[in-house]
A and B are shown apart, each in its own frame.
Chain A
Amino acid sequence: MHRLLSFLKKRILPEQEPQLSEAELQDAFRRRYSLFRSLLTANNNALQAMADLEKIYYSGESYRMAVVRARITTILVNVYKMVRNLLVMSDGRYQELEGIFEKISQQLEKVIEKKPDPPQGEYIQTLAETRGKDRQLVGEKMANLAEIARLPGINVPAGFILTAAATRHFLTADHFAEINRRLQVLDPEDLDALYQGCAGIQALIDAATLPADLEERLLMHYSRLEKATAPGVRVALRSSALGEDSGTISFAGLYHSELNVDREGLVYAYKKVIAGKYGANAVAYRRRRGYRHEDIEMCVGCMVMVDAAVSGVVYSRDPGDARREVLRINCAAGAGKGVVDGTNLVDLFLVDRQSPYAVVHRELRQMSGGPVVAAADPPPSHLLPPTLSDGQLRQLAETALRLEEFFGWPQDIEWSYDGEGKLHILQSRPLQIALADLVAEEEPSPATPPSGEPPLIQGGVCASRGTACGRVFRVDSLDSMRRFPLGAVLLLSQPLPEWAPLLNRAVALVAEQGSEAGHLATVSREFGLPAIFGLAGAMEQLADGEEVTVDATATAVYRGRREDLLHRATGKRDIMAGSPVQKLLAEAMVLITPLNLTDPAASQFKPSWCETLHDITRFCHEKSVSAMFSFGEQFHFDKSRAKRLVGDVPLEWWVINLADGFAATAQDGAKAIHINDIVSVPMLAIWQGISAYSWQGPPAVSVRGFGSIIFQSAMRPELDPAVASNLTTKNYFLISKNFCNLSVRLGYHYAMIEAFLSDLLTENYITFRFKGGAADHNRRAVRTRLLADVLERHDFEIELKGDTLLARIKKRPADFLAERLQVLGYLTLHTRQLDMVMDQPAMVAQYRNRFNREIETMLGRTPPGEVDDGTRGKSSAG
């Protein structure tokens, strides 16, 4: 026995390791297991955080940098733990993983910490000397205003701009760090805290001292403005942010303006406008749209106040109905603040976009104190508070259309008429038509049940959003995988990463098991493939070849092609589109989520092919499982410490307790242990399989088969049937409560079962290795093929190489695995009989049938109409 075992082990491990005592073995097991367990936990955490990242990225909903940063940190720390544990578990193999991890994490760090370049230039420049190209220094609003000011016939009030360089001079790196710290701890859901926190930041800016040189220059520019206009001239200070350069983003009305400011009020007003960047609304809005506060730089325009008789806003198109050929003009008496913030009653005019710019609609609310809809005729003018004459409306229309043409996009323009009837343009910016559409085109809530036939099946989790239609194709083997047609709905029992290559060909994915955090879920999202995971009963309820519509967002599958659902799937807008945070996350995700290592059997499955953190987790997971699985192979134990299993048991079995595998009633010093004193869940399951049917002994050997065995035995003396009794002596169970490793030598074959069964799905596994045995190579291959057939029926993944069989199941519930262990227990005992008969096809079929039948019966799934053909043994199962 020993000679044979060591012979087999030498084939796997070239060097014989020293034998370990029971205590050392237990210690090695515990250490290995605790590393394995913590690696699996880290794996779960990392995958969960990756799924979170993808979810927020693809959801189209809002997210903020702090969340992104926290998830990425979680991923990095957990992947690092996995690498570290794997290195210990594998005795330093895969050392290069460390370097690869290091490289990826440094790249990530660079992406995450990327900041816009600090602004370079003068602290203050006049509007007149500003050009459009200065927008990186003066902000979008002031750059546009400077451009307009140079257009002939358009008046813009004189003024100057305190640039981004001035802001950075005023607020130092320390200020920014403190503001950063305060913003990052703000809970976005807690409005009270948000307002309080923002007030605190604004107070901090208020309290900061304006550098003397900046203050001096500010006052000097004001003096110049006085000289050009009038002594004591009043000015307006307006925000001009830079970095808000995305077409679909409107920062309208979020910031602060100070009107009617004199020399004494300048410094205070400047700080107020700067602090406006941290108003609660502005902070909340930036977060929602994916802007970090360092992405936005605040500049301040300081312009001469217009002594306004009437002021207002003109939209060169009506945002409510952008296709209609009208301009929309609002106005109110005075400086117009109420028009912009919507607090005053204003008059409304819709004006034809074609000359002569006829008024098509008029609401004079100022006069009436409420909305009044009048005909297109002008009312008697002496009754009116200052409003607009038809000539002024025409001038506004012409100006607005000129600006629209100049900027190439419908404009939103603020203006004032002074007492002399001169038109001043205070601001012009792109009209937010896209944002208006966004509000109008809200996707109907997925909770609304669609009309028509109810779903065939519903439930599980949405692993990847979307809706698609195709024919169901079930994949459960390599063979069916190869036949998978383009454009089908992929139906799986378990979403293993091995199926990932099919996602290129599938239109949707439905799996009975799994969650949104799995590898395949990740890849589905990456491909934008609608996927429902954990949909119980899917394998049974969805028929192969049937056309279905998968609504992953609502986790439902419908019969046939459902245009109503497929139609609804389009038109979703992304609120974060184009934002700096989204760009940054997109860049970061390239280093995190793509999975390149999908096939553990491929030659590329090695550290040097890991390009992302996901690859590293996949690699570590796979290799840690093999390291754990091979525990029984790697550690050589002192067999004298084993206890013999006693009771009504066939053959001879020995047990070594690695941890909590014995009941408290078991006697410590005893040389034997009773099966009733075993509490190892996997061992008991295997034992049920072993003892379900009594062993029949070898069947009659055909002459040819017998000759073959004699021949083999002659070549390998240790296989001589004459010493068979010796060969069948010792079979070892290494156990703990949840773990069992069984090495069996029954007859001529060598088998090993290793299993871990617990409440944590991700930890659960069974591996079964089977190899060698008497009989020639051909017959051994037939036997392993038969075993593979039987095991495949019971959900094992099979790898067959010649006469070596590796069968595995992972991540299934403990009771599910316990049944499979019974199957293995049964097969381990009964395959021995196969050796002699493998050259008789009829016998092979007969054995296969008998195995399947007995297993079904053992598992309590008795097939109906069974005829007892006499080969069935006496059941000894309880």
Chain B
Amino acid sequence: MIEFNVLVVDDEDDFREVTTKRLTKRGLKVWDAAGGAKALEVIEETRIDVVLLDVKMPGMDGIETLRHIRSLKPLIEVVLLTGHASVDSGIEGMKLGAFDYLMKPIELEPLLEKLMDAYEKKRLREQKIEMAQMKKHMSMPS
């Protein structure tokens, strides 16, 4: 199991706690936040790789939170999660660059797989950026 850092954002305490516990058990490092504002604090302070984000939350909703995450930390991958949001929030989320969209309730295995895919994408992108930077430095006359 590859270890990476996940942030679970959901206002439903039951769901958030159970998910956090299960993902931790499977070897991920998991942070959690009960709302969008708190989530933004966490990603400012911590090196989060993937955010699992509930779309429908009181206060700052998932879509708004996603927008902030994209501008603050564009490399973080976001997987959206919903039980009962309006249908077009899904597309809205994809347009804002969410990695994918999951429907609640969700089993652990597919969730884990989706999070790993998201992390893989982030890793590849970082690698590419690194390579490009290296190339740039190498080609510069010293």
Inter-subunit contact A73/B103 (CB<8 Å): yes
A27 and chain B: residue at smallest CB distance: B128
Chain B residues positioned under 8 Å from A66 (CB to CB): 84
CB of A80 within 8 Å of the partner chain: yes
Inter-subunit contact A73/B83 (CB<8 Å): no
B87, B88, B104 interface centre (most CB from chain A within 10 Å): B87
Contact among A70, A77, A113 for B86, CB-based, below 8 A: A113
Rounded to whole angstroms, the CA-CA distance of A184 and B56 in the bound complex is: 12
A residues 50-76 near B (Cβ < 8 Å) are 66, 69-70, 72-74, 76
Rounded to whole angstroms, the CA-CA distance of A81 and B82 in the bound complex is: 18
Rounded to whole angstroms, the CA-CA distance of A112 and B90 in the bound complex is: 14
Chain A residues positioned under 8 Å from B72 (CB to CB): none
Inter-subunit contact A184/B86 (CB<8 Å): no
Inter-subunit contact A109/B88 (CB<8 Å): yes
Instruction: State the total of A-B contacts with C-beta under 8 angstroms.
Output: 47
Chain B residues positioned under 8 Å from A77 (CB to CB): 90-91, 94, 101
Contact among A69, A80, A113, A187 for B84, CB-based, below 8 A: A69
Inter-subunit contact A108/B91 (CB<8 Å): no
A73, A106, A112 interface centre (most CB from chain B within 10 Å): A73
A106 and chain B: residue at smallest CB distance: B88
B residues 103-119 near A (Cβ < 8 Å) are 103-105
Rounded to whole angstroms, the CA-CA distance of A80 and B94 in the bound complex is: 8
CB of A229 within 8 Å of the partner chain: no
Chain A residues positioned under 8 Å from B90 (CB to CB): 73, 76-77, 80
CB of A167 within 8 Å of the partner chain: no
Rounded to whole angstroms, the CA-CA distance of A345 and B87 in the bound complex is: 51
Contact among B84, B87, B91, B101 for A184, CB-based, below 8 A: B84
Rounded to whole angstroms, the CA-CA distance of A84 and B95 in the bound complex is: 9
Rounded to whole angstroms, the CA-CA distance of A108 and B88 in the bound complex is: 9
Contact among A84, A109, A187 for B87, CB-based, below 8 A: A109
In the complex, what's the smallest C-beta–C-beta distance from B120 to chain A, in angstroms? 11
Chain A residues positioned under 8 Å from B83 (CB to CB): 184-185
Chain A residues positioned under 8 Å from B84 (CB to CB): 66, 69, 180-181, 184-185
CB of A105 within 8 Å of the partner chain: yes
Chain B residues positioned under 8 Å from A106 (CB to CB): 88
A68 and chain B: residue at smallest CB distance: B87
Rounded to whole angstroms, the CA-CA distance of A80 and B91 in the bound complex is: 7
Identify whether the interface residues of A are mostly helix, strand, loop, or mixed. Answer: helix
Chain B residues positioned under 8 Å from A112 (CB to CB): 86-87
In the complex with contacts A66-B84, A109-B86, A185-B84, A76-B103 CB distance below 8 A: no
Chain B residues positioned under 8 Å from A185 (CB to CB): 83-84, 104
In the complex, what's the smallest C-beta–C-beta distance from B105 to chain A, in angstroms? 8
A residues 61-112 near B (Cβ < 8 Å) are 66, 69-70, 72-74, 76-77, 80-81, 84, 105-106, 108-109, 112
In the complex with contacts A109-B87, A109-B88, A81-B103 CB distance below 8 A: no
Rounded to whole angstroms, the CA-CA distance of A108 and B87 in the bound complex is: 9
Rounded to whole angstroms, the CA-CA distance of A66 and B84 in the bound complex is: 7
Rounded to whole angstroms, the CA-CA distance of A185 and B106 in the bound complex is: 12
A183 and chain B: residue at smallest CB distance: B84
Inter-subunit contact B94/A81 (CB<8 Å): yes
Contact among B56, B82, B91, B105 for A76, CB-based, below 8 A: B91
Inter-subunit contact A69/B87 (CB<8 Å): yes
In the complex, what's the smallest C-beta–C-beta distance from B124 to chain A, in angstroms? 10
Chain A residues positioned under 8 Å from B105 (CB to CB): 187
Chain B residues positioned under 8 Å from A73 (CB to CB): 82, 85, 87, 90, 101, 103
Rounded to whole angstroms, the CA-CA distance of A187 and B84 in the bound complex is: 13
Contact among B88, B91, B95, B103 for A70, CB-based, below 8 A: B103
Inter-subunit contact B103/A74 (CB<8 Å): yes
In the complex, what's the smallest C-beta–C-beta distance from A177 to chain B, in angstroms? 10
In the complex, what's the smallest C-beta–C-beta distance from B104 to chain A, in angstroms? 8
Chain A residues positioned under 8 Å from B88 (CB to CB): 76, 105-106, 109
Chain B residues positioned under 8 Å from A69 (CB to CB): 84, 87
In the complex, what's the smallest C-beta–C-beta distance from B28 to chain A, in angstroms? 23
Rounded to whole angstroms, the CA-CA distance of A72 and B91 in the bound complex is: 11
Inter-subunit contact A72/B87 (CB<8 Å): yes
In the complex, what's the smallest C-beta–C-beta distance from B112 to chain A, in angstroms? 18
Rounded to whole angstroms, the CA-CA distance of A66 and B103 in the bound complex is: 11
In the complex, what's the smallest C-beta–C-beta distance from A85 to chain B, in angstroms? 11
Rounded to whole angstroms, the CA-CA distance of A70 and B83 in the bound complex is: 8
Rounded to whole angstroms, the CA-CA distance of A73 and B82 in the bound complex is: 10
Rounded to whole angstroms, the CA-CA distance of A77 and B85 in the bound complex is: 13
B93 and chain A: residue at smallest CB distance: A77
Please, what's the 1-or-0 string for A100-135, where 1 marks a CB less than 8 Å from any CB in chain B?
A: 000001101100110000000000000000000000
Rounded to whole angstroms, the CA-CA distance of A105 and B82 in the bound complex is: 18
Chain A residues positioned under 8 Å from B87 (CB to CB): 69, 72-73, 76, 105, 108-109, 112-113
Please, what's the 1-or-0 string for A164-197, where 1 marks a CB less than 8 Å from any CB in chain B?
A: 0000000000000000110011010000000000
A81 and chain B: residue at smallest CB distance: B94
A76, A84, A106, A112 interface centre (most CB from chain B within 10 Å): A76
Rounded to whole angstroms, the CA-CA distance of A70 and B90 in the bound complex is: 10
Chain B residues positioned under 8 Å from A105 (CB to CB): 87-88, 91
Rounded to whole angstroms, the CA-CA distance of A6 and B83 in the bound complex is: 55
Chain A residues positioned under 8 Å from B104 (CB to CB): 185
In the complex, what's the smallest C-beta–C-beta distance from B18 to chain A, in angstroms? 14
B56, B88, B94, B95 interface centre (most CB from chain A within 10 Å): B88
A112 and chain B: residue at smallest CB distance: B87
B85, B90, B105 interface centre (most CB from chain A within 10 Å): B90
A77, A80, A187 interface centre (most CB from chain B within 10 Å): A77
Rounded to whole angstroms, the CA-CA distance of A180 and B85 in the bound complex is: 11
In the complex, what's the smallest C-beta–C-beta distance from B108 to chain A, in angstroms? 17
B82 and chain A: residue at smallest CB distance: A73
Rounded to whole angstroms, the CA-CA distance of A181 and B82 in the bound complex is: 12
B residues 64-108 near A (Cβ < 8 Å) are 82-88, 90-91, 94-95, 101, 103-105
B94 and chain A: residue at smallest CB distance: A80
Rounded to whole angstroms, the CA-CA distance of A66 and B94 in the bound complex is: 21
In the complex, what's the smallest C-beta–C-beta distance from B131 to chain A, in angstroms? 11
Chain B residues positioned under 8 Å from A76 (CB to CB): 87-88, 90-91
Chain B residues positioned under 8 Å from A109 (CB to CB): 86-88
Rounded to whole angstroms, the CA-CA distance of A865 and B79 in the bound complex is: 64
Rounded to whole angstroms, the CA-CA distance of A185 and B84 in the bound complex is: 8
Rounded to whole angstroms, the CA-CA distance of A499 and B126 in the bound complex is: 47
Rounded to whole angstroms, the CA-CA distance of A187 and B86 in the bound complex is: 19
Rounded to whole angstroms, the CA-CA distance of A362 and B44 in the bound complex is: 81
B101 and chain A: residue at smallest CB distance: A77
Chain A residues positioned under 8 Å from B94 (CB to CB): 77, 80-81, 84
Rounded to whole angstroms, the CA-CA distance of A181 and B84 in the bound complex is: 7
Rounded to whole angstroms, the CA-CA distance of A18 and B103 in the bound complex is: 44
Chain B residues positioned under 8 Å from A187 (CB to CB): 105
A181 and chain B: residue at smallest CB distance: B84
Please, what's the 1-or-0 string for B7-48, where 1 marks a CB less than 8 Å from any CB in chain A?
A: 000000000000000000000000000000000000000000
Rounded to whole angstroms, the CA-CA distance of A649 and B101 in the bound complex is: 51
Rounded to whole angstroms, the CA-CA distance of A602 and B61 in the bound complex is: 45
Rounded to whole angstroms, the CA-CA distance of A797 and B74 in the bound complex is: 46
Rounded to whole angstroms, the CA-CA distance of A72 and B84 in the bound complex is: 12
In the complex, what's the smallest C-beta–C-beta distance from A602 to chain B, in angstroms? 29
In the complex, what's the smallest C-beta–C-beta distance from B56 to chain A, in angstroms? 8
B83, B84, B85 interface centre (most CB from chain A within 10 Å): B84
Chain B residues positioned under 8 Å from A74 (CB to CB): 103
Rounded to whole angstroms, the CA-CA distance of A113 and B56 in the bound complex is: 16
Which 6 pairs, one residue from A and one from B, show the smallest C-beta to C-beta distance?
A184-B84, A77-B90, A73-B87, A77-B101, A109-B88, A73-B90
Q: Which A positions have Cβ atoms within 8 angstroms of B?
A: 66, 69-70, 72-74, 76-77, 80-81, 84, 105-106, 108-109, 112-113, 180-181, 184-185, 187
Given contacts A80-B94, A109-B88, could you give 4 more A-B pairs where the C-beta distance is less than 8 Å?
Answer: A69-B84, A73-B90, A109-B86, A184-B84
- Show 10 residue pairs from A and B whose CB-CB distance is below 8 angstroms, ordered by the A residue: A70-B103, A73-B90, A76-B91, A80-B90, A105-B91, A109-B88, A180-B84, A184-B83, A185-B83, A187-B105
Q: Which B positions have Cβ atoms within 8 angstroms of A?
A: 56, 82-88, 90-91, 94-95, 101, 103-105
